[in-house]
Structure 1
Amino acid sequence: MKHKSTIIKFLIILVLFELIINVLKLIIPAQIQYLEFSYIFTVVRAIFFILLLKELYKHKVKFGFALLTVLAFPILIQIIQVCLGNIFIHFCPQQTNDIGNQGLIGLLNEMQNNDCPFVTQFSFLFYIEYPVFCIKQFFSTNEFSYFWGLLFSPYVFYFFLFFKFSLFKVFEENNRNPYLSFIPVVNNITILKICKLPVSWIFILFIPFVRLFWFYKINKRLCEIHNTNQSNAIWMTLIPPIFYAKLVYK
């Protein structure tokens, strides 16, 4: 029951935060919102998300519940935005008719599909169309802003955080400096030390395709250390952003 009260508390915080954002949209010019403030808002939501994962970890929720939370989090944000947006649309004095908008500004304006900065319609396809659009545009135009757009697309971003949080806790539970989990190469070396496997394997982990077999052996050892079903090692190797969480959410 404690984790339910935690979810309700974070839900209230999210509603208040989105309410503040909508108030700011009445004041801040739309172009500034899309460029600078959109990333700031995303970072703040990410902090809320990590704190929520931390609370769920503290309450020892199961992996299925944690995964459901990750899947529901961006959808829940959009539902809140739509509900508040339909209220605030009556107070919207801003216009975004600049036909010269390029890059992410143009994409966001196009997906908004109206002259109001508030989200007024729910679109699940947004979670698929947005990253696909960014990938296509990045390779066709080589505009780096689309790479950031891909990185900050809802599910790519939140599953990346889910993976990093899980790895952080794996390091912490094995008495290693958890902040090493954020450093490329060093984190793999530390995992090899946790598993008591040869550190020289790090060179093999740089070889495409071949590395998958060694990662499987490493993940199998991690499952053994964390008393998790070793069949999970296959999924940890193929889809680590999702299944590494099984090591910490039992």
Structure 2
Amino acid sequence: MADENGKLSALPHTVIHISDVEYDRKKPRMLHIGESLIETNPGDIIKTLGSDVTMAILAESGATGLRILAGHMRESGLKNPLILKSPVRSNNPENLLTENSLNPGNLLLDGIGDGLCLNADEVDENQAIRIGFGLLQATRMRMTKTEFIACPSCGRTLFNIQEALKKIRERTGHLKGLKIGVMGCIVNGPGEMADADYGYVGAGSGKVTLYKGKEAVKRGIPEEEAVEMLVELIREGGDWKEC
């Protein structure tokens, strides 16, 4: 189990399989359920859980099977923590991200499940942790870092948006839960970042306008000064934290 800083610790639960009959009921338990049982007889799982609300569930299956299990749990009124796991083993970070975005990422987006377990024995540990927490943030399950909204830029962008975004990430990437928009122009930028806490928007050749929420609060700032002025605006708003 990993925390948001990448520190690993032992899982507090004793992992048991549904076929296990004898286990220590005084210890936290996590019931590991495989794909075949989920898809063929989810009723047995419900019977095994009974009224034991302390037992967490590690469900390993395709998206359809996981939805079926979640539906049975909901109909039975079970509130046990449900950890979702794809049965597909990934051997590189790209496949790990793609596979888990599809499953269980799509279920987490629909409010199904309380967490995810990555099938990533062949992927670098630190990369797997970053991918896992990135998926949790993308599905709004757990916020662990700054969220950036950036446009791809077009002919209306009259400043170096890629370099600006890089500098803003370096200065503000530790502000957990904050949402910052970096937009190329004032034509579409304010609308595209309407739910951002702060915004950095191009306003002409080498000029930037800074936003707090939907309000433009500093206009016509030279590009070379704008990143530090954004940091100062975040400080003034009470949202700055030292890293």
TM-score (norm 2): 0.29
Which one has a bigger Cα radius of gyration? 2
Q: Identify the structure with the greater strand proportion.
A: 2
Q: Identify the structure with the greater helix proportion.
A: 1
Q: Larger relative CO (CA 8 A, sep 6+): 1 or 2?
A: 1
